[in-house]
A and B are shown apart, each in its own frame.
Chain A
């Protein structure tokens, strides 16, 4: 929440010589953040951010109190000047007014009927309101806003003569009831909202949020019902969000305000009506106060203060700070007992809250910076973990020309693959494009390809989670690595090679590729017996692969095994076979390799029409292989491939 306050207005409640810039700096460091100071006509306008836990600071007097409390810690004199509130002048003639409330909905109501002269507000009030981003309307409405800004509690006025039978009944709304707010907008209520109906049974107010068109003050208003209500903050929040009415009043009321503070606001308003609107009280003052505000006592040990802050703060300093902030303090040598005033009792409840008050005003800037100690427990911190492999594989891909993408985890129904009823579904998506948690990364990457159409060649990858339903438990999150290549004359082996090299770089062995029996251009990848992922050919220029990162982690290793280098040179020869198209190269390589342990490695060198040339390396650890040795093995190989694959040796 932000609030704008003119410097001159603030200084009505705090006496200090601090310059606006210094005041802003000191408040920012110890209390509220002053985000901007704007110079306006010999004055300064502060733009102040107030955190949601401190609605008491959403006012000129609230900020003035803080300033008076924090400035002395910087060595600057400052004194809070409280508002002078007089006892209201009782009515001589009494108009009827009857209000029935519900303690479940409302903590306190203060109301009075007044005679007024409606006219423009004095310049000072108009300027101050406009500087705080509130439009000046007339003196009556302006008083309610001026009270809210000065004290921090919203106030409301009805046109007394528009309330049928001078009666208000405060109740919960029913679902479907319709109201028209004073800005002319129609709202259908969800039910459970706090409303007031008049003697005729029509709703005349949406409490704590906004007045209604049928009871609002107009040009002909002569008599008003000045009305303050302190409500259940959760109902206010609910109504305000459901109806999308985010007035200042709603935003204050939803935070929970002090019903004692409300009394000040009430009296100040009466005073202002008397001063600027010829106001006269013409009814009894109604005060319905079923839920009294309470003070609270919090105790804390002096030792704890030091442990949390990290350096000693003198007991006297701590005590002075708390007293300046409006707390009452008694102490022993080791403990403090702090009485929290009603205006803060909602949010100052435990010793840490008190420590915060002391520490912030003492000044966080005075606390030295130290790195935390390593502690007395020894933990192992292995270098090789999942992040190590993640880093390694991403680097490898980048150095092979792939670019990493980050796409959203949610997808539209169209982009979701698989039965939609099994999807992990977002209940309240921002748009329908982001309604399901994806089960595969591929559609997202294909969308990236689509959105970069002008690129003839694209190599992209992403490592992200996919999500799967798991009964009543949390959905399973599985990290997947997806790779997409777009290129003219793309081959399956362009993708297979990437995966083979990745596996090799990560120490993964026993990689195998098997076409999916159901076809469809999909190949499954296994590590041993574990399914690792698949490659899918989508077009002559588009191919994708998706791999399971957990499976990769299961098999990846940095373990290195040393094999002594051979002292004797290998014999290398190429063997060209004429093979039927059906015969798998992998099977031929396996068959050749198993013929003799001296065959160290077999690879496919070339493929031309129906011939395939295999590169065979023979090597013996302890001697030079003779032509004779190799010739014998070669005969075995030829026999085997003839028998098994009906191969012809060329």
Chain B
């Protein structure tokens, strides 16, 4: 009996190992373990054995059964794996990997938003906080408090848009702000009102917004964006202004670009500067490697915009002590710095506001 059981097991296992389909395995199971299978039959035969041999043979028969069951399970699993591998490899060989993928949808942020976000991040790292101030502004904020004399050309209606509205007795007419500098007045006035007595005024403003001027040509759009920096505190100097703009120029344009300041004139700063950035095309050399003169820049430099030390009259107009505090400010065109970036030399600024998909989808 013992030999019979062991032979049966060996026979079953060798059949299982040879099987190549799940159907064959099922047949083997039925052949041995089925209701009229050989092992089932052998187990029934056990009743005929002498009583003292039965427990021992019973244990053996159960072991044989377990071994066969396990062998069938293992064989099934290995068949599944082989099948899957075969399937995957056959399928893969047929894939044309050069066909385009099923892309999730992707739109485009406008270049101006991309520039604004970049500029914001750069300045936030050195402690500036972004703010937003009105686009439609009283003359007081846009001009008067910024030290513009009553007859200044910027205040006449050839250069600035006026809103058809009754002027305020104190704050004057309503204009579309021609620069983000109006935000300087709002920021300083509110700081002067709210700052705790005994604490020093410490402003680090980044005002980004829409501005409007009566111009429309290849290098001007009637609506545009500026970003305005304002730092006011104790002993803020030209040195700090230079540091801030060096930091910005290298962060925004890249380590290879350098900046310089030159004398200039603005009503609301004194001294006033024009800020230049070295040309990204000729790298400040004014000549290209082939010896040709650089067409993009003026003698190796590109004008980025204005800056200066806050005029004492402006500090006074906002209620800040112009003896105790000094400050610097700069206001640059978002479109301007964008177009000074390598690769974005757009020949007509108005393209930025054309909203042609062919343009928008490039970025």
A: which residues have CB within 8 A of B?
24-25, 28-33, 35-36, 51-54, 233-234, 237, 241, 307-311, 350, 352-353, 355-356, 359-360, 364-365, 367-377, 379, 381, 386-387, 391, 394-395, 397-410, 424-430, 434, 437, 448, 451-452, 455, 458-459, 464-465, 467, 472, 474-475, 477
Contacts and interface: CB of A to CB of B under 8 A. Distances in A.
29 contacts: A28-B262, A35-B298, A36-B299, A53-B265, A310-B238, A310-B240, A311-B239, A352-B270, A356-B270, A369-B246, A372-B204, A375-B233, A376-B202, A377-B199, A399-B104, A399-B107, A400-B107, A401-B107, A403-B107, A409-B223, A425-B164, A427-B163, A428-B161, A430-B161, A430-B214, A430-B216, A434-B222, A451-B355, A465-B135
B239 A381 contact: no
A309 B237 contact: yes
A405 B158 contact: no
Contacts of A452: 355-357
Given A372-B204, A427-B164, A474-B134, 14 more contacts: A30-B262, A52-B265, A308-B237, A310-B240, A350-B270, A353-B270, A364-B261, A370-B242, A371-B244, A379-B129, A399-B105, A426-B164, A430-B215, A467-B136
Contacts of A308: 237-238, 271, 309, 326
B260 A474 contact: no
Nearest to B160: A428
B34 to A, nearest CB: 36
Interface string B235-261: 111111011101100000000000011
Contacts of A430: 161, 214-216, 222
Contacts of B105: 399-401, 459
B109 A398 contact: yes
B303 to A, nearest CB: 9
Interface string B250-285: 000000000011111100001111100000000000
A231 to B, nearest CB: 14
B238 A408 contact: no
B210 A409 contact: yes
B132 interface: yes
Given A54-B265, A370-B239, A387-B130, A451 B108 contact: no
What are the 6 A-B residue pairs with the smallest beta carbon separation, nearest first?
A310-B239, A401-B105, A310-B237, A356-B271, A375-B202, A51-B265
Contacts of B212: 409
Contacts, number: 225
A575 to B, nearest CB: 33
Contacts of A376: 200, 202
A399 B162 CA distance: 39
B244 A359 contact: no
A374 B215 CA distance: 39
Given A28-B262, A352-B270, A406 B352 contact: yes
A311 B185 CA distance: 28
A9 B80 CA distance: 97
A394 B109 contact: yes
A403 B360 contact: yes
Interface of B: 104-110, 112-113, 117, 120, 124, 126-127, 129-130, 132, 134-138, 151, 153, 156-158, 161-166, 168, 174, 176, 199-200, 202, 204, 210, 212, 214-216, 222-223, 231, 233-240, 242-244, 246-247, 260-265, 270-274, 298-299, 309, 311-312, 326, 352-353, 355-357, 360-361
Nearest to B158: A241
- Which residue, of A355, A367, A406, has the highest number of chain B Cβ atoms within 10 A? A406
B108 A372 contact: no
Contact of A399 (B106, B168, B272, B312): B106
Contacts of A409: 135, 210, 212, 223
Contact of A369 (B107, B138, B215, B243): B243
B65 to A, nearest CB: 35
B328 to A, nearest CB: 8
Nearest to A375: B202
Given A364-B242, A377-B200, A427-B162, A237 B109 contact: no
Nearest to B103: A401
Contact of A371 (B113, B126, B134, B215): B126
B240 A352 contact: no
Nearest to B247: A371
Given A403-B107, A408-B222, A33 B262 contact: yes
Chain A interface, DSSP helix/strand/loop, else mixed: mixed
B197 to A, nearest CB: 12
A317 to B, nearest CB: 16
Nearest to B222: A430
A29 B262 contact: yes
B355 A405 contact: yes
Contacts of A32: 263
A404 B113 contact: yes
B108 to A, nearest CB: 5
B107 A474 contact: no
A477 B199 contact: no
Nearest to B265: A51
Contact of B271 (A355, A373, A399): A355
A405 B311 contact: no
A368 B299 CA distance: 23
Contact of B106 (A35, A352, A386, A401): A401
A75 B263 CA distance: 20
B158 A365 contact: no
Given A367-B238, A405-B355, A474-B137, A381 B106 contact: no
Contact of B273 (A364, A370, A455): A364
Contacts of B262: 28-30, 33, 364
Contacts of B112: 406
Contact of A405 (B110, B135, B163, B236): B110
A407 to B, nearest CB: 6
Contact of B151 (A234, A459, A465, A477): A234
A241 B156 contact: yes
A408 B239 contact: no
B120 A387 contact: yes
A30 to B, nearest CB: 7
A365 to B, nearest CB: 6
B260 to A, nearest CB: 6
Given A308-B309, A372-B243, A408-B222, A386 B357 contact: no
B159 to A, nearest CB: 10
Contacts of B137: 474
B108 A352 contact: no
Contacts of A369: 239, 242-243, 246
A426 B163 CA distance: 5
Contacts of B104: 399
A404 B216 contact: no
A416 B72 CA distance: 80
B138 A402 contact: no
A110 B103 CA distance: 80
Nearest to B361: A403
Contacts of B164: 425-427
A397 B165 CA distance: 37
Nearest to A30: B263
B110 A477 contact: no
Contacts of B210: 409, 464-465
Contact of A237 (B153, B157, B355): B153
Contact of A352 (B161, B309, B356): B309
Contacts of A437: 136, 163
